[in-house]
Amino acid sequence: MKSKVKKALIRFGPLFVFLALEMGIFTSNAAACFGFYQPKEPERMAKYKK
């Protein structure tokens, strides 16, 4: 079981990294859905804002 998971992570790992970066860029330009909760954004995401 561990070897299958490890092989899957090695195979699809770059895809997960790419999707996480794209989602971070998308959400850095969007506001929160609810006005009472706006999470803190990391400083390094500021360079991706438009």
Query: Predicted confidence band at 48 (pLDDT cuts at 50, 70, 90)?
Result: confident
Nearest CA to 28 among 13, 9, 50? Answer: 50
Using the predicted structure, report yes or no on whether residue 46 has a pLDDT greater than 80.
no
Average pLDDT, integer, range 45-50: 75
Domain boundaries, the chain: 2-48
Give this prediction's pTM: 0.58
pLDDT tens digit sequence for 7-42: 998 999 999 999 998 888 887 777 666 666 666 777
Using the predicted structure, report yes or no on whether residue 50 has a pLDDT greater than 80.
no
CA 24-2-10 angle, to 5 degrees, is 45
